[in-house]
């Protein structure tokens, strides 16, 4: 008889690869939610977060290195033998971090530089839409102020004007009259959002927005949930635009018919279009949609999960997130099931007083450790830092409270109770998140 049965040696072989070290790039609520999900998976031996926040500090090793220096990052990954890297935010993706790490034989989850133009260049995406008949707002691309102004004299209002590159949610103007449009065009070409060779002018679509997510390994596409975020700072969706004040999932708009339309008219031709220019889409893809009378229109793509949508959606995931990431890196997503809890998830973001304008930094948050969260409640950190075991607010969006329950109203009530017990006077939040699906 052999010394080891073949079954035993299989177990042994598997165990060699059993425990993994995973690194996550980013410092927001999205990254804390990803870290938190991974930390519950036995196979994950060690987590690193670059640079992370006070929340990730509890479950991962926070590493503060210059993320613009890919070499430094690579050296750390190699030295510490990190098995898999997850890229949270768009900037490193658009800068080509995936291509760079893959050249170094490092496993990485996220789209490459060419594919990341879907978010990095609005004009790239618009041209793709045009080529493949993907429904989107009618548009024109203008290379200079004079041509743009000429067009803006003759067009109908409201009209939407956008800078081309990454502008962190800014760089989009919705103009009701020619005078506003003139200011927008001048600001864009004067370089308010970086050097501008182009401005995009597009038709205003009147409908309701929805965030739609998929995950792909380059071959297979799987759905990754829907959500509705609240971008405006004040209740009733009024005031300035922000990174996101809260969200709920699923979106109230989604149904089977709309789902099919989104996949066949928007997602599939996009993935196919990228293939035709010689690239595969690996990673999360976030379609920002406007639903107009039951028809989906693409407003924008993001090449990552949304924030706060990620915090809202991930707690609903039943399947093993590590397996999902690995199957994407190994082009085996078709073999991996993605199963969800059939619950209503809601997220409220607590922001520093003053956000999105000036706010104070390094404001102490006491009581966090005293909050008692139930089994379906989560508190994800965003702009926080741990200094001498104390938690300080250092960013505009500070904490995300999430609750999963049978209905949105209950989720929201539970969250507001938690926030009240935190009793932090350094911040504020919207009490009306998901008002369109909560009838009181």
Token output for 185: 């065009």
- Please tell me whether the peptide bond between 173 and the residue prior to it is cis, using omega within 30 degrees of 0: no
Cα(128)–Cα(207) distance, integer angstroms: 23
Among 31, 119, 217, 309, binds ligand GLY (CB under 6 A): 309
Nearer CB in complex with ligand AMP: 160/351: 160
Q: Is 31 in the site for ligand GLY (CB under 6 A)?
A: no
Number of H helices, E strands in the chain: 14, 23
Rule CB under 6 A: is residue 96 a binding residue for ligand AMP?
no
Distance CA 99, CA 105 (A): 10
361: left (phi over 0), alpha (psi -120 to 50) or beta: beta
CA atoms within 13 A on the CB side of 112: 17
Is 269 a binding residue for ligand AMP by CB under 6 A? The answer is no
In angstroms, the first-to-last Cα distance of the chain is 72
Neighbours of 407 (CB within 10 A): 13
Binding partner of residue 172 among ligand AMP, ligand GLY, none, CB cut-off 5 to 8 Å per kind: ligand AMP
Q: How far is the CB of 227 from ligand GLY (least distance, A)?
A: 8
For residue 111, give the nearest of 81, 83, 84, 88 by alpha carbon: 88
Rounded CA separation 238/240 (Å):
7
Q: Compute the C-alpha angle 87/88/90, nearest 5°.
A: 95
The residue whose Cβ lies closest to ligand GLY is 306
The binder of 202, among ligand AMP, ligand GLY, none, by C-beta within 5 to 8 A per type, is ligand AMP
Options 22-30, 103-111, 198-206, 330-338: segment touching ligand AMP (CB under 6 A) = 198-206
- Closer by beta carbon to ligand GLY, 171 or else 306: 306
Q: 307 touches which of ligand GLY, ligand AMP, none (CB within 5 to 8 A by kind)?
A: ligand GLY
The answer to whether the beta carbons of residues 283 and 216 sit under 8 Å apart is yes
H/E segment holding residue 22: strand 20-26
Site for ligand GLY in 267-306 (CB under 6 A): 302, 306
Question: Residue 306 binds what, of ligand GLY, ligand AMP, none (CB under 5 to 8 Å, by partner type)?
Answer: ligand GLY
Number of residues that bind ligand AMP (CB under 6 A): 13
Q: How many positions of this chain bind ligand GLY (CB under 6 A)?
A: 6
E strands, 138-260, are 139-142, 159-163, 172-175, 199-203, 208-217, 221-229, 232-234, 238-241, 246-249
Residue 309 interacting entry, from ligand AMP, ligand GLY, none, C-beta within 5 to 8 Å by type: ligand GLY
Is 432 a binding residue for ligand GLY by CB under 6 A? The answer is no
Work out the burial of residue 236: count CB atoms within 10 Å of its CB; fewer than 13 is exposed, 13-18 middle, 19 or more buried.
Answer: exposed
The entry of ligand AMP, ligand GLY, none near residue 299 (CB within 5 to 8 angstroms by kind) is: ligand AMP
Residue 350 near ligand AMP by CB under 6 A: no
- Selected from 31, 83, 307, 385, the binder of ligand GLY by CB under 6 A is 307
Shortest Å distance, C-beta 374 to ligand GLY: 25
Q: Check if the beta carbon of residue 309 is closer than 8 Å to that of residue 229.
A: yes
At closest approach, how far in Å is the CB of 319 from ligand GLY?
23
**Is residue 205 a contact residue for ligand AMP (CB under 6 A)?**
yes
Residues 102-161 that bind ligand AMP (CB under 6 A): 137, 160
Q: Per CB under 6 A, which region of 11-19, 71-79, 203-211, 252-260 contacts ligand AMP?
A: 203-211
Q: List, as own/partner pairs, every contact residues 40-44 make where C-beta atoms lie below 8 angstroms and the sequence separation is at least 24, other chains included.
A: 41/320, 41/321, 41/322, 43/18, 43/19, 43/322, 44/19, 44/20, 44/322
Nearer to ligand AMP, 49 or 175 (CB): 175
Which of 26, 92, 110, 244 touches ligand GLY by CB under 6 A?
244
Contact residues: ligand AMP, CB under 6 A: 137, 160, 169, 172, 202-205, 209, 231, 288, 299-300
Residues that bind ligand GLY (CB under 6 A): 229, 244, 302, 306-307, 309
């Amino acid at each position: 008889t052999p010394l080891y049965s073949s079954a035993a040696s299989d177990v042994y072989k598997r165990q060699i690869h059993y425990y993994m070290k995973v690194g996550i790039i980013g410092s927001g609520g999205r990254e804390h939610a990803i870290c938190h999900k991974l930390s519950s998976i036995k196979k994950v031996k060690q987590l690193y977060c670059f640079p992370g926040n006070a929340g990730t500090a509890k479950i991962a090793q926070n590493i503060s290195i210059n993320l613009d220096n890919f070499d430094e990052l690579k050296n750390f990954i190699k030295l510490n033998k990190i098995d898999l890297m997850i890229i949270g935010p768009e900037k490193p993706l658009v800068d080509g971090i995936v291509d760079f790490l893959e050249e170094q034989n490092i496993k990485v989850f996220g789209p490459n530089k060419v594919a990341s133009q879907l978010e990095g260049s609005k004009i790239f995406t618009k041209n793709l839409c045009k080529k493949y008949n993907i429904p989107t707002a009618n548009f024109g691309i203008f290379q200079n102020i004079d041509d743009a102004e000429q067009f803006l004299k003759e067009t109908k209002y409201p009209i939407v004007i956008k800078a081309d590159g990454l502008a962190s949610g800014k760089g989009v103007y919705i103009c009701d009259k020619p005078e506003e449009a003139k200011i927008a065009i001048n600001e864009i070409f004067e370089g308010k959002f970086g050097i501008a060779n182009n401005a995009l002018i597009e038709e205003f679509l009147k409908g309701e927005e929805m965030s739609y997510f998929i995950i792909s390994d380059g071959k297979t596409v799987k759905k990754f949930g829907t959500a509705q975020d609240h971008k405006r700072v004040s209740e009733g969706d009024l005031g300035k635009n922000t990174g996101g004040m809260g969200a709920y999932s699923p979106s109230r708009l989604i149904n089977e018919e709309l789902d099919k339309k989104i996949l066949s008219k928007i997602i599939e031709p996009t993935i196919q279009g990228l293939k035709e220019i010689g690239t595969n889409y690996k990673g999360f893809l976030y379609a920002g949609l406007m639903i107009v009378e039951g028809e989906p229109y693409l407003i924008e793509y993001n090449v990552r999960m949304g924030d706060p949508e990620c915090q809202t959606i991930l707690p609903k995931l039943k399947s093993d997130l590590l397996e999902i990431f690995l199957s994407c890196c190994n082009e085996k997503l078709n073999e991996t099931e993605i199963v969800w809890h059939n619950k209503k998830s809601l997220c409220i973001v607590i922001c520093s007083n003053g956000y999105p304008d000036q706010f104070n930094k390094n404001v102490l948050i006491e009581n966090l450790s005293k909050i008692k969260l139930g089994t379906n409640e989560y508190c994800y950190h965003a702009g926080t830092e741990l200094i001498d075991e104390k938690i300080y607010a250092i960013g505009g969006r500070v904490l995300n409270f999430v609750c999963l329950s049978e209905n949105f109203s209950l989720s929201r009530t539970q969250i507001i109770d938690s926030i009240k017990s935190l009793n932090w006077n350094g911040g504020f939040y919207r009490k009306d998140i998901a008002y369109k699906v909560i009838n009181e």
